[in-house]
Amino acid sequence: MTTTTLPSPETKADEDSSKSAKLFARSKALIPGGVNSPARACKSVNSNPIFMDHADGAILVDVDGKEYIDYIGSWGALILGHKHPRVLEAVEDALQRSTSFGTPTYLELEFAEQVTKMMPNIEMLRLVNSGTEACMSAARLARAFTGRSLIVKFDGCYHGHADTFLIKAGSGLATLGISSSPGVPAEVANLTLSLPYNDLGAVEKAFKEHKDKIAAIMIEPIVGNAGLILPTEGYLKGLRELCTTHGALLIFDEVMTGFRVAAGGAQALYSIKPDLTCLGKIIGGGLPVGAYGGRRDIMERIAPHGDVYQAGTLSGNPLAVSAGLAQLKVLQTPGIYDRLEAKTKALADGIQEICKKAKVPAQVVHTTGMLGLFFTDKPVIDFESAKKSDTEKFARFWQELVKRGVYWPPSQFEAVFVSLEHGSSTIEKTLAAIKESLS
């Protein structure tokens, strides 16, 4: 990973009189690092976080009144853009009934029916409050179902902050250069094997060495937490076959890709049937929610039907379920994913052309609704190759884009999210800003 030598955010803070800078100074006194999630800190791009005030469509507006074209979309949740009328109406309707019940509601059932309709590999579904909870619960269930202890994950893939997954993880850990976290006991870390992504041979070797000890493979089928990295041809199919052969479960973490890259997620896009699937982001419509589901025989092990305990006071919260349900129904509109793919491709092709003309070494990768830009002349196929990209150049690039009103993810190791609200003129403005930022 290239070491950034630009002026530190602290130095810039002394010269910054913006409302964001003042709010950040106050926040640091009460909130660790001044933020409630590390990726928001903007440390790797040598900046201070920008505090937002409101948003509409594809536009963010900060507390100083400056507008930005939004390419994080609440980190992938807002595929319809900010303040979509159907989502707002659903939340307002739910709000009139109550903010929470702590009892079953018909909304939870309707939500489960909608998810299983759009993602038929999920035969039963359990709602939780975040992607972290979903992945943590799926791992526990896999261990109980198989009677095994080891979980295989992949370098640069991020499955939330549960102890099991904080080993060579992506997202904020990659952004801050943290390979694992203090506070995770060695005994827990030793129950997780982290392997290179896109290396089927490494997985075959792990099964040979650990035989009947591997409970499950947990994977982002399309990596979005180390920048965007696509699976090589046959890789996901190979993982499916290895799990079937060795009696392990295949768990797809589609918190990011679920209902974004296709109506049925990455598993539909690549025609792979996982045993369990973890969901989040889009299924909440911008409100906190997560879910995990899959084969009926596995899911029936969950309490109270079975013996694997998992619970949550706010699981199935009516506001979150209503927002997510409204968003999922809109995503059933015929041709909507074709439109999203066209927008994403236009942005990716435009960036590729700009980099080529400017003679800037770059890898531009995209799938429907997601994009990755790495400043390197070598293909990016895993976390190791992603770390060889020029992060100092990325930091300067990010700062120049912000000056020009484009809010790009503030880390080389995060995916860019395109929404259905990014129109052709918005993309043209973005490409103009990118061209100036790379000149």
**Among 158, 270, 292, 337, the one annotated catalytic:** 158
Catalytic site includes residue 68: no
Catalytic site includes residue 106: no
Interhelix angle 85-97/318-330, rounded to 10 degrees, is: 150
Q: Are 67 and 57 in contact (CB under 8 A)?
A: no
Catalytic site includes residue 273: no
**Residue 243 exposure: Cα atoms within 13 Å on the Cβ side:** 26
Question: Distance (Å, rounded) from C-alpha 219 to C-alpha 240?
Answer: 11
**Among 62, 70, 155, 253, the one annotated catalytic:** 253
For the purposes of burial, counting CB atoms within 10 Å of the CB of 162, is it exposed (0-12), middle (13-18) or buried (19 or more)?
middle
**Among 43, 281, 343, 387, the one annotated catalytic:** 281
Neighbours of 307 (CB within 10 A): 9
Q: Which alpha helices (DSSP H) does 224-374 contain, by range?
A: 235-246, 265-269, 296-299, 318-330, 336-358
Pair of tokens at residue 45: 């791009």
Nearest Cα to 284, choosing from 80, 37, 72? Answer: 80
Question: Distance (Å, rounded) from C-alpha 67 to C-alpha 137?
Answer: 39
Q: Which alpha helices (DSSP H) does 119-175 contain, by range?
A: 131-146, 172-175
What sign does the CA torsion over 396, 402, 407, 410 have? positive
The single-letter DSSP state of residue 38 is G
**Amino acid letter for position 216:** A
Question: Distance (Å, rounded) from C-alpha 5 to C-alpha 235?
Answer: 38
Question: Distance (Å, rounded) from C-alpha 206 to C-alpha 201?
Answer: 9
Residues annotated catalytic, as ranges? 158, 253, 281
